[in-house]
DNA sequence: AAAGACCTCATACTTTCGGGTGATTTTACG
DNA sequence: CGTAAAATCACCCGAAAGTATGAGGTCTTT
């Protein structure tokens, strides 16, 4: 049984959302049964609806989760040799920048605010702050304007 | 007499600083006379010192004033044709940027903070804010990062 | 199974920015 | 000489940015 739980571990959030969605819809059915015109709905019908909605919840939860982590590159072009002659990926590797940090850096160097970056990346403002803070320390700068300068001088990103 | 005052008008600050410096040093002399070992210092000696210090005050005040307004261009290279093919001065004229605003913009695009710009230009933080605010409205941007982007896209400044 | 890298998010706090307004002082020019 | 543009500075206030700390969750590797 422990192995089963371990197997279900990565899907915990999906399952949670599914259950919540299912229960919510069961509640809706109940309310409809109690107060609206479909008075003859029996428990079987309710159960079927609940099952369908639960499935929908699973699908939706999976979709949501998948979209969050498998929507990698924005339309920002980069990678491969860059304008400064150096190899972009080599520079990134040398600085120890993670993919997410590079992504934040791209948006940042385009002049976006933290909130706008958060919206674009489907994460919270705090997460963006964390990424940016890490980027700053890795680039050895204090402000975003300095980060832009650094990025330009390093030939990172598209200019 | 009115014309004399008008003549002295531009030097008001210099005179003010001179007087303050002179009085301060007279006070120092007095204190030294009262409490330290040079008990035989007479009023003539004190007066000479005061006069010398007043002259020093005038010189210092002039220097300070002169340095403020005759230290024009920082080491930032620009002017004339730029990297983007357009004429830099023409762009500046089209945007209606004043010399001081261009100077601020240079420092800003180098990643300096407002306070650092103020220190570099020998003006107060508030003045820098005013300049930057005007620059933003003329560039039609809201943030300094966007201003940098704009400057880059317009081909202004070096780089 | 344990470890480490990454990602995510929160909370609290301080500092910096940016907008708005108003005022005085230089400077340049006709 | 007077006016207009530029430059200087101040004060207030809200928003944004940045710092520090802690804490889970996920995934890969050993």
Query: How many independent structural domains does chain B possess?
Result: 2
Dump pLDDT digits (tens) for B75-120.
444 444 455 556 777 888 889 899 999 999 999 999 999 999 999 9
Q: Is the pLDDT of residue B57 over 90?
A: no
Cα angle: A107, vertex A111, A112; to 5 degrees: 60
Is residue B92 situated within a structural domain? yes
- The rounded average pLDDT for each run of 10 residues, N- to C-terminus, in chain A (159 residues) is 39 50 60 53 53 57 51 48 66 91 94 96 96 96 95 77
pTM attached to this predicted model = 0.67
How far is A108 from chain B, CA to nearest CA, in Å? 8
Within 7 Å: CB of B133 and strand D?
no
Report the pLDDT value the prediction gives residue B112, as an integer from 0 to 100: 96
Is residue B133 situated within a structural domain? yes
Nucleotides of C under 7 A from a protein CB: 1, 5-12, 16-22, 25-27
Q: Are residues B96 and B63 in the same domain?
A: no
- Rounded CA-CA distance A29/A41 in Å is 9
- Rounded CA-CA distance B136/A152 in Å is 22
Q: Which residue has the higher pLDDT, B132 or A20?
A: B132
How does residue B16 score in pLDDT terms, banded at 50, 70 and 90? low
Q: Is the pLDDT of residue B139 over 80?
A: yes
Nearest CB among B112, B113, B145 relative to A148 is that of: B145
Q: Is the pLDDT of residue B42 over 80?
A: no
A141 in contact with B at a CB cutoff of 8 Å?
yes
How far is B108 from chain A, CA to nearest CA, in Å? 8
Q: Are residues B15 and B57 in the same domain?
A: yes
Q: Are residues B108 and B55 in the same domain?
A: no
Q: Is the pLDDT of residue B146 over 70?
A: yes
Q: Given A15, A36, A69, which residue is the final one in a domain?
A: A69
Cβ–Cβ under 8 Å, residues A81 and A88: yes
Is residue B128 situated within a structural domain? yes
- Rounded CA-CA distance A11/B73 in Å is 62
Tell me the percentage of chain B whose pLDDT exceeds 90: 35
For the ranges A51-60, B44-53, B57-66, B88-97, which has the lowest average pLDDT? B57-66
Domain that holds residue A94: 88-153
Tokens matching residue A72:
């990698």
Cβ–Cβ under 8 Å, residues B42 and B50: no
Q: Are residues B92 and B59 in the same domain?
A: no
Q: Are residues B64 and B96 in the same domain?
A: no
- Rounded CA-CA distance B149/B4 in Å is 51
Quick one: which H or E segment has residue A69? helix A43-69
Whether A148 sits inside 8 A of B111 (CB atoms) is: yes
Report the pLDDT value the prediction gives residue A105, as an integer from 0 to 100: 95
Tokens matching residue A110:
């385009």
- Rounded CA-CA distance B139/B30 in Å is 57
How far is B159 from chain A, CA to nearest CA, in Å? 9
**Mean pLDDT along residues B50-75:** 54
Nucleotides of D under 7 A from a protein CB: 1, 5-11, 16-22, 25-27
Q: Are residues B144 and B95 in the same domain?
A: yes
B126 in contact with A at a CB cutoff of 8 Å?
no
Report the pLDDT value the prediction gives residue B124, as an integer from 0 to 100: 94
Report the pLDDT value the prediction gives residue B156, as an integer from 0 to 100: 76
Is residue B79 situated within a structural domain? no
Q: Are residues A54 and A109 in the same domain?
A: no
Q: Which residue has the higher pLDDT, A95 or B11?
A: A95
Residues 83-112 of B with CB under 7 A from strand D: 96, 98-101
Is residue B145 situated within a structural domain? yes
Find, among B136, B140, B141, B157, the residue nearest to A112 by Cα: B141
CA of A4 to C1' of D24 (A): 21
Listing DSSP states for B117-128 in one string gives HHHHHTS-HHHH
Tokens matching residue B153:
């896209």
CA of B153 to C1' of D12 (A): 35
Is residue B138 situated within a structural domain? yes
CATH number at residue B115: 1.10.10.10
């Amino acid at each position: 049984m422990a192995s089963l739980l371990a197997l279900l571990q990565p899907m915990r959030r999906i399952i949670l959302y599914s259950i919540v969605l299912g229960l919510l819809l069961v509640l809706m059915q109940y309310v409809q049964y109690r107060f609206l015109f479909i008075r003859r709905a029996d428990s079987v019908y309710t159960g079927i609806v609940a099952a369908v909605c639960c499935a929908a919840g699973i699908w939706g939860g999976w979709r949501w989760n998948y979209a969050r982590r498998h929507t990698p590159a924005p339309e920002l072009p980069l990678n491969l040799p860059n304008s400064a002659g150096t190899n972009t990926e080599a520079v990134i590797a040398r600085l120890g920048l993670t993919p997410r940090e590079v992504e934040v850096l791209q948006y940042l160097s385009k002049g976006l605010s933290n909130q706008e970056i958060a919206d674009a990346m489907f994460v919270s403002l705090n997460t963006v702050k964390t990424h940016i803070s890490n980027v700053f320390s890795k680039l050895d700068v204090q402000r975003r304007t300095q980060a832009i300068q650094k990025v330009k001088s390093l030939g990172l990103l598209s200019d």
